[in-house]
Structures are given as C-alpha cells and as structure tokens.
Amino acid sequence: MIKPTISRHQHSAHWGAFQAVVEDGRFVAVEPFQGDCQPSPISQALPDAVYNSARIAHPMVRRSWLERGPGAAPEKRGAEPFVQVSWEQALRLVGDEIERVKGDFGNAAIFAGSYGWASAGRFHHPITLIKRFFNTIGGFTNQVGNYSVGAGLILLPYVVGTTRATGGPLTSWDSIAGNTELFVSFGGLPLKNSQVADGGIAIHTIESWQHRAKEGGVEFVNVSPNREDCADFLEAEWIAPRPNTDVALMLGLAHTLASEGLADQRFIDRYCVGYQRFSEYLLGTLDGTAKNADWAARICDVSAETIRTLARRMASHRTMLNTNLSLQRGDHGEQPFWMTIVLASMLGQIGLPGGGFGLGYGSISGMGVPQTEIRPLRMSTGTRAIDSAVPVARFVDMLLNPGDSIDWNGRTVVFPDIRMIYWAGGNPFSHHQDINRMVSAFQRPDTIVVHEPWWTPMARMADVVLPITTSLERNDIGASTRDRFLVKMEQAIEPVAEARNDFDVFAALAERFGTLEAFSEGRDEMAWLRHLYDTTLQAAQDIGVELPDFDGFWDAGHAEVPAPAEPYVMFADFRADPDANPLKTASGKIEIFSQSIDDFGYDDCPGHPTWLEPAEWLGSSIASDYPLHLLSNQPRARLHSQLDCATVSRATKIQGREPVWINTADAADRGIHDGVVVRIFNDRGALLAGAHVTEAMRIGVLQLPTGAWYDPQEPGVPGTLDVHGNPNVVTLDKGTSKLAQGPVAQTALVQLERYEGPLPAIKAFDPPP
C-alpha cells in the first residue's frame, strides 16, 4: 500500500492563522496556529470551500452580452445562462470594453471602486490591485469610506481630530483590567466578532482579556437589545433600550450628571470647547425640553431610575465607555459616537488609565489588544488619475440617478454616468441595503465585470466572470494593523480548474494598455512579497523593533512584533499637556460643539450631539404596520458572506435558511416555535428565515445575521422573495446624514409571520446554467 504524501503549509485568513494540510496535492484539513488557544471554527470550512460546487471553474460570459454586445438585455442579469469562453477571449472582451467606455464616455464612466474584505493577503488584495490598474490607464470612479464605520470616519476628525478612536489603538485591555471599575458598553461586547480582523489574527486573545478584566473586579453593563451581546461569564447588567435610541439614553445620563453636580467641570473647561452651547440644548434652555432621565425613558423605554442610577455609578467609578460600531450604522449614526465622547468628557476621565471611551471594543478582533505599532504592510494603489468618487454607501444612488447631486461632508458630490462596473474582491449583497433597489441599479450599466472564486450573488449579476484563485492557491503575507504577527501565506495547492490570481489578470490587461511597467514595477509575486516585507522591516527598525529578514521570516512561517512594555492609554499625552499635544481639531481640543459642522447648515446633523428621530423606529407611526425592529449583525460562522457556501456556515441554518432570533413572547403571539420557517417583510421586500426563539432578545426586536447569499425566487427580478434569509432585502437604503452619508442598516422595521406552503428550494450555492 502506497502511503499518501502529506505536507503542511503556513497560511492565514481574516479569522486566523493555520497550517493547511495537503494530502497527495489536495487540501484536506486545517490545523490551528501554534499558541492560538481560542481558534475560530470558521477555518474548518476552507477545504470544503476550495473544492465546493459553487467554485467558478472557467471564464464565463452572459449569453446575451456575448451574442449582442454591451448593454444587451440588462434585465436578464442574474437570470440568464452563461457561456464558457477561453481566458484569451475573456481578456480580449474585457479589454475592448474598457477601451470603448474610456474612449466614448471617459474614465469617470468606469466604476471600479470595489468594496469588501477580500483576502487576508496584503499583496493579492484585489481591491488594491483593481485601483492600481485603473490608475495606470487614466483613472476610475471610486468609493470612499466604508460600511463598517461610515458615519464615524467622517465625524471623528471634527470632534477629536483622528479616526484612531474607532480604528485603534484604543486604551489597551491590560490598562482596563488593571484600572477600570465599570465598563459600560452600548452595543455590548459580542465575542463572536473577536474571531475576525482584516488581514488576519494569529492568536485570539480577546476572550482571555475579558476574563482577566472580570477577575480583576471590573463590572460590566451591556446596553443592547440582545442579552448575549456580552458573554455570560462577565455577569453584565443588561439594559435593553429600543434600537436606535441610545443617544436619548446617553442624553438622560448626561442630564443627570449635569443637574446633580456630577460633571467634571474642570476637565470640560480645560480640554473641551462648546459645552455651553450643548448644555443649553441638554437643559432645555432654548427649546423648553430638558433632556432628563424622564424624557429619555419615554423614548428608549428604559426606566428613569435605571438611567439615573447608571449615571451616578459612572461618576463614582473609574469608567470606560464603549460604543459598538453597529450603533453608528443607524439613521443619524453620527450622533451615538459624538454623544459617547461628550458623556466621557463630562465624566472627565479621558486620558486616564482604564477610563474615557473607546469606539469599537467588541466589534472586531484586536481592539484594545496590547500591540506595538509599526507601519502596516500595504501595496500602493498608485496616484489617483481623476477626482471622481462617491461615498461608499451611495453607489446605488449614483447608478440610479446619474447627474444628480448630494451633500457630503461640506461639499457637493455630482453622480457620474456609469457605463461599466468592474468589481473584484467583495460582495455588495452582504453590505448594501435594499437589495431590490440594488438589483434595479445593476440593470443600468452597459457592462459588469466580476472577479470571483465562487458563484456569489455579485458574480451572478455579471456579464463577464473571471475565475480567481483562493488564497490557498497563491503566495502572500497576512498582516493586520491590530495583530502582532506577520504570517506567511504559502501556496498549498495548484489553482483549481482555470483560476488565475487577480495580479496576473490585471497585469495581462495592463500589458494590453501599455502600462505593465507602471502596474507591476517589474516585480513578480515573490519579488513583491519581499519588497512589501522589507518596507515593514525598515519601519520596524526605525522604532527599534527587531524582525527577521525576509528569508528568515519565510523560513520560520511568521514574525512576531514584541508586545509593548507599558499599557496604552488613548489621549494620555493630550491629558498630560493639551497645549503641547493639541488634538487635530479646529480648536485643538475635544469639540462638544463643532463650529465647522454647524456652518454646513445640515438639518440632519447640527453642531452638537442631538436626539434626532430615526426614519423608522419602534416609537414611530409605521410601527403599527411593522411592529418589529430588525437588527442585522455579524454572523457567528462566517465573515460577512465569505464561506456561506461551505460546511461551517451551512450547519447553522434552519431548514436551509439563515436563523433569525425572536423573543419568546413575539413568537407566541404569532404561533411560531423554534425551527419553523418564517417570512419577514416590509414595503421594500420579503425573505424567508428559520426561527430561533429565545429570551435573550428584547421584545419587539429581531436579529438576523448579514451575509446569507441572496437567493431570489425569480432571479434578476426586483421585488421577488428571497428564500435564504438575506436581511438586506428589507433594510433601508439612505444616508445617515448629509455629513457622512453612511449606511443605516440597523434602522429597519418589519413584520414577521409563519410561512405557509411548500418551502422553495435553496439554489444559492448551485452554479447558474
């Protein structure tokens, strides 16, 4: 009997580093990274994903587009059969179409601002590569910002002068464990989110840090409609406001601090500007309405006494305030972040060990993990050739309304007329709201080109689909700004079928346009990896951090950046000497009132934090027709939509559908029990999901994870039933405000009922005809 040939290859993904076990050339298993005591189970799905029937094996072209050319039968996108072509023909078709659109309409008519997490590899990063390629041939229309922190990224520079308050580094967990007495988290600290980090995470430590904080005496408060947004071992007090009312709750807390003399006026006077203007609003001096605990209680449906008691506890303890990223993904999402900073300023503990605020603990792995910062390993997208861009969450508005304009961050954005979409490295069906509206928008351009390893919903909407390698089929380096490790991502297997990597595809196109040297700089894959690593090595040496050279790193399989000697405290330098270390705001201080924002004159984002009624919430008139608030969270068994086709994610489904969490009382009112299929609907659309009945959800609130592959009963037809459970069929597509124009996925009212009749088959993972 011949023994199989077994090899192991160091590799990494957004959810963790691992060894890829290969037997006779086939990827068969995953072994966790040495030292990772809490590895994510998501990696176990990789062997199935790599060889899944949903893999795209060959270049494919939609039939009408192939036969009749660009713009043919756009209403058939998502429904029409594909025709297999050679790579030579596919690249010729794509190159010809780029040339046509450039020549006839200009580069701004090409939308190549792909969005998504893509691979953990820093070189084979398609969103970087696509921008780099198009910048060498005259430019493209880009997306700016992101869905994760869309409102926060625009707001924070005005208020604290940096976006680091949400991206990190945040005050480190060792500082929290040693100094914090009370940790109040708006949106909780869900451990499932600590599985993932962009660029990967070698050793998962968040759960251990939370244990250490709890054992050190930190008390936790979970302000969330979901009790399980804090781990049981934290024994957190649970306060469950109506969704989208956290700002009202924070105002009630602030009013208690102000009216009971608990606010730190010395801190406010020394480190902040604009408190007087905000105070007039808070106390009701101008509008006659004091934003006190009784006022807040009526809005958020939390007792006034609970609000007052919490405010007093915060003032009498070393308190860390945290607001999860999900809160700013609601209507007027700028306000929760801003109000968190104001509340922390009133407590006066910003810059103290274990005190102040953080925006994103519990949202992603690495937040607050002690780390020594070095320049991230990153490839340049090149010089922008044209200034054409839209806020990331407004790209559907752009496609539907060419020539229209929107206000954004103090300027006017005019939508270009997009004739070609080129997408690589993401799936907007897991990120963007109101899928039926997006399907209509995707019927507008002449051509859609997509790079993908799998037949995702985005690939199905394409005219030309190019099959791309997974990270296991190429060499790369995994690295995250929130991780202390650089990880070798060694090619473990040969490319499946005709898959090619994105770099080679864009290099071939660049050669056609005469820009290969500008795109590749004369480097192949390994030369680029060496170059990128060497730039990070130099940055590390500049701050006294020793790392192995590239050959030593590649041989060892990873390089570890030493942990810092001392805990990190955000804004400690500013607190120690605000004159010598001013913030990069207009005033150099924390802007409780921002004159810059106020001067924009936006009615939906005034110059200080304000309670603004959301477009949809449980206190609104439409709640009589749609009495349930739907929250769409990060799933437990995948990252967004990545690997939904594979074993780990599919094992969590209920009768093949994504599970929706529903309170026991809400379920009983509708005759629903655990495991049945339900229909969730509103005026925007309808979907099927599997019911998970639980006491952990607040009454009147549903929770349905993002990322189930969109599976319409009638492909390509807007308004049809999604049979698989994608929440974006019913979410609201509008901007947070004229300031940030961020997404508002967490602002959505729906109704739910038991689904009657034969269950439609799940076809999301079957290749199209």
pLDDT tens digits, residue range 704-727?
999 999 999 999 999 999 999 999
**pLDDT above 80: residue 400:** yes
Convert the pLDDT of each residue in 497-538 to its tens digit: 999 999 999 999 999 999 999 999 999 999 999 999 999 999
CA distance 245 to 297: 10
Token readout for 347 is: 């407590």
Q: Which whole number is the average pLDDT over 617-624?
A: 95
The residue from 15, 51, 65, 115 that is catalytic is: 115
Task: Give percent of the chain above pLDDT 90.
Answer: 97
Task: Give the total residue count for the chain.
Answer: 769
The pLDDT of residue 240 is above 80? yes
Report d(CA 460, CA 454) in Å as an integer. Answer: 10
* Dihedral, CA of residue 618, residue 619, residue 625 and residue 631, to nearest 10: -20
Task: Find all residues with CB under 8 Å of 114, minimum gap 6, and list them.
Answer: 126, 127, 130, 143, 422, 423, 424, 425, 426
**Do the Cβ atoms of 572 and 579 come closer than 8 Å?**
no
Angle between helices 293-300 and 246-259 (to 10 degrees): 170
- Give the model's pLDDT for residue 378: 86
Query: Does 427 score more than 90 pLDDT?
Result: yes
What's the chain's average pLDDT?
Answer: 97
Q: Would the pLDDT of 217 be above 80?
A: yes
The reported pLDDT for the residue numbered 608 is 98
Cβ pair 100, 70 in contact under 8 A: yes
CA distances from 70 to 93, 104, 415, 510 (A): 10, 13, 21, 21
Alpha-carbon gap, residue 700 to 258, rounded angstroms? 32
- CA dihedral (537, 556, 193, 254) in degrees, to 10, reads -40
Q: Evaluate if residue 267 carries a pLDDT over 90.
A: yes
Q: How far from chain centre, in Å, is Cα 578?
A: 33
CB-CB neighbours of 86 under 10 Å: 11
Residue 352: HSE in the Cβ half-sphere, 13 Å Cα cutoff: 17
Q: Quick check: is 271 catalytic?
A: no
- pLDDT of 4 reads 86
Judged on CB neighbours under 10 Å (0-12, 13-18, 19+), 493 is buried
pLDDT at 16 over 80: yes
- At 291-344, the pLDDT tens digits run 999 999 999 999 999 999 999 999 999 999 999 999 999 999 999 999 999 999
Work out the angle at residue 564's Cα, subtended by the Cα atoms of residues 561 and 568, and round it to the nearest 5 degrees: 130
The whole-angstrom separation of Cα 755 and Cα 662 is 15
Look at residue 85 in the predicted model and tell me its pLDDT. Answer: 98
Distances (CA, A) of 124 to 195, 441, 477: 22, 29, 9
The answer to whether 17 and 480 have CB atoms below 8 angstroms apart is: no
Please name the residues in contact with 567: beta carbons below 8 A apart, sequence gap of 6 or more: 171, 172, 174, 175, 178, 353, 370
Q: Are 208 and 369 in contact (CB under 8 A)?
A: no
* Structural tokens at position 89: 């023909």
Confidence label for 372 from pLDDT (cuts 50, 70 and 90): confident
- Of 293, 286, 351, the C-alpha closest to 318 is 351
pLDDT number for residue 10: 98
Lowest-confidence segment of 204-218, 370-384, 425-439 by average pLDDT? 370-384
Asked if 322 and 184 count as a contact pair (C-beta separation under 8 A), the reply is yes
**What secondary structure does DSSP assign to 48-107, as a single string?**
HHHT-TTB--S-EEEHHHHHH-TTS-GGGTTTS-EEE--HHHHHHHHHHHHHHHHHHH-G
Encoding tokens for residue 633?
């969270």
Q: Which of 15, 65, 117, 238 is catalytic?
A: 117
Q: CB neighbours (10 Å) of residue 537?
A: 22
> For residue 376, what pLDDT band results from cuts at 50, 70 and 90?
confident
Confidence of residue 364 (pLDDT cuts 50, 70, 90): very high
* Known catalytic residue at 115: yes
373: pLDDT confidence band, cut at 50, 70 and 90? confident
Mean pLDDT in residue range 743-769? 97
The whole-angstrom separation of Cα 290 and Cα 258 is 11
Q: Does pLDDT of 1 surpass 80?
A: no
User: How far, in Å, CA of 619 to CA of 631, rounded?
Assistant: 16
The overall longest dimension of the chain from CA atoms, in Å, is: 88
Distance CA 266, CA 643 (A): 52
Quick: pLDDT tens for 472-483.
999 999 999 889
Average of pLDDT values for 572-595?
Answer: 98
Average pLDDT over residues 276-280: 98
Note whether 662 and 646 are within 8 A (CB).
no
Question: Does the pLDDT value for residue 14 go beyond 80?
Answer: yes
Q: Mean pLDDT over residues 77-81, rounded?
A: 96
Residues 232/235/237/238 CA torsion (nearest 10 deg): 10
What per-residue confidence (pLDDT) applies to 3? 84
Q: Would the pTM count as exceeding 0.95?
A: yes
pLDDT digits (tens, 9 = 90+) for 136-181: 999 999 999 999 999 999 999 999 999 999 988 999 999 999 999 9
Three-state DSSP class for 411? strand
C-beta separation of 742 from 433 below 8 A: no
